[in-house]
Every structure is written in C-alpha cells, then in structure tokens.
Chain A
Amino acid sequence: MKISTRGRYGIRLLIDLAEHVDEPHVSLASIAERQSISARYLEQVAVILRRAGYIRSVKGASGGYTLARNPADIIIGEALRILEGDMLIIDDLRPGEAESKLQHCVRTTVFDRLNKRISNVIDSVTLASMLGTVDPDASYMYFI
C-alpha cells in the first residue's frame, strides 16, 4: 500500500520547479542532481506532467522546464492521480462484475471510507500550501 516513486518524484519535481520560479527555466539535470533522482527516470516523470499540462518545456541549448500553472492551482491529489493512474486503495468494481455480500460489505465499510479519507487529505493540499505559501497575497510570486 505505497505511493510509487513515480508519484513521489513527480511531486518533488513540481516542488523543485516552484522553488526556482525566479529562473526562466530549470534543467532536468539540475533537478536530478538536487533531488538525487536519476535524470533518465525524471525525464519519464516530466513527460507525464508535461502532457497533463502541469509543466512546460523550454526548448534550446539551455532548455528545461517551467511550471505551467500557479502553484496555488496545483492540487497535490490531482497531480498524484495523473502520476499514479489513480489513488484508490482497491480497484473499482468493473462494469457487470458481481461481488458477494461479504465482498460488498468489506468494500463499503472499509475501502470506500478509506478512499474517501485519502482523497480528502490529498485534495486539500496544493503545491503552494505544501511550500508554505498559503497566503493568497504571496502566491503572486509564483505566477509565471
């Protein structure tokens, strides 16, 4: 029952970009070094975040990445779902899939509740609040 490295590294990539907003763009190599993550793996994570519109790539010899959204608008739960596929504790019932009364009871009494509580936590955190910039007046700093 773990968040994978893809989810964890993806969030660290977003944090690193948010911490370096004063730079026009940040190279993946420098993030990889600061975060002690392999650059090749980070590239895979960056592709997912770029396709989902979280980060933008800057082309050129000194190219790199930059945040595509205001950190206050990046909800950690949503980013995690993009990176991980979903954040469910157990697979949803497939359409037409039958379950026994026992299974149904465990699902509704345990798993549904757990899923809801997990969502509540991760959907209440934004990249900005993670960085400690919950003050809306301060968040303009991160607007790019």
Chain B
Amino acid sequence: MRISTRGKYSLEALLYLALLPEGDFASTRSISENTGISDGYLEQLFIPLKKAGIIRGIRGAQGGYLPGRPIKEIYVGQILRAVEGSLEPVACLSAETCPAESRCITRHTWTALYKEIADCVDSINLQDLVESYNTLDQEEYVI
C-alpha cells in the first residue's frame, strides 16, 4: 500500500519551494540540484500541481516555480491527490458500482481506514512541514 514516487517527490519539491523566501521562485534545474529529483520528472509532476493551483509558474529564461497560494493553505492531501489520484485504500469506496456494497462486511473497515488517511493528510500543511524542517538539526543530513 505504497505512496508512489510521484507523491513522495512532489512533497519534497513542494517543501523546497515552501522554504524559499516569500515571493521567490526556483527553476526546475535548481530544484533538481537541491532535491536530487531529475528536472524531467519535476516537469512531469508540475503539470498536475500547476493545474490544481498548488504551484505557479513564472515564464521566461529566468523563470521558475513558486507555491501557488500561501503555504498554510496548501495541504499534503491536496498535493497527494493532485499527483496520485484518489487516496482510497480500495477502489470500491466511492465508485458505488459494487453490487455487493450493501452486504459487504469489509466496507466499514476500509471506510474507517480511508477516513483516517484523509484526516491525517488533510491536517498537515506546508507551513507545518516548514516548521518541522526548521526544528531539525542541519548537521545530520547529506546533500
């Protein structure tokens, strides 16, 4: 039950952008140099993130990307849904296509699990990530 690299890399790239001084932007090349994510992959991830208004692009040779709205209004859940799609642990929860829905014994558990996942990712925003980043000691990490 994994989050894909799309979700993982998107969170890392967004945290990098959120750490920039307000109003600053970064090119995919500099994001790539600072996160280790290839700029081709970043370009790919930025398409749905831009569409969702999570990031904003600045055009031009000196252009780049920045958070699309104040970072405390950007939630982890929004980022993950933009690049991963639905966060349901099983595909049958919202589809309402399952003929066994009314008598499905597992449905209650999967629903509870989904609610817990959604509550968790919808309660953490980029401001929270920035704050916990700032409490970490720089010395211990590579790159």
Contact = CB atoms under 8 A, between A and B. Distances in A.
A109 B129 contact: yes
B47 interface: no
B41 interface: no
B62 interface: no
Interface residues of B, number: 44
B97 interface: no
A118 B136 contact: no
Contact of B120 (A8, A76, A87, A114): A114
B105 interface: yes
Interface in B5-21: 7-8, 11-12, 15-16
A130 B105 contact: yes
Contacts of B61: none
A125 interface: yes
A71 B55 CA distance: 49
A55 B88 CA distance: 29
B8 A131 contact: no
Given A3-B89, A121-B112, A125-B109, A114 B142 contact: no
A2 B91 contact: yes
Interface in B54-76: 76
Interface string A103-119: 11110111101100110
A99 B141 CA distance: 6
B132 interface: yes
14 contacts: A1-B84, A1-B87, A1-B117, A3-B90, A15-B106, A90-B3, A98-B141, A98-B142, A106-B11, A117-B116, A121-B113, A122-B109, A130-B105, A130-B108
Interface of B: 1-4, 7-8, 11-12, 15-16, 34-36, 76, 80, 84, 87-91, 105-106, 108-110, 112-113, 116-117, 119-121, 124, 128-129, 132-133, 136, 138, 140-143
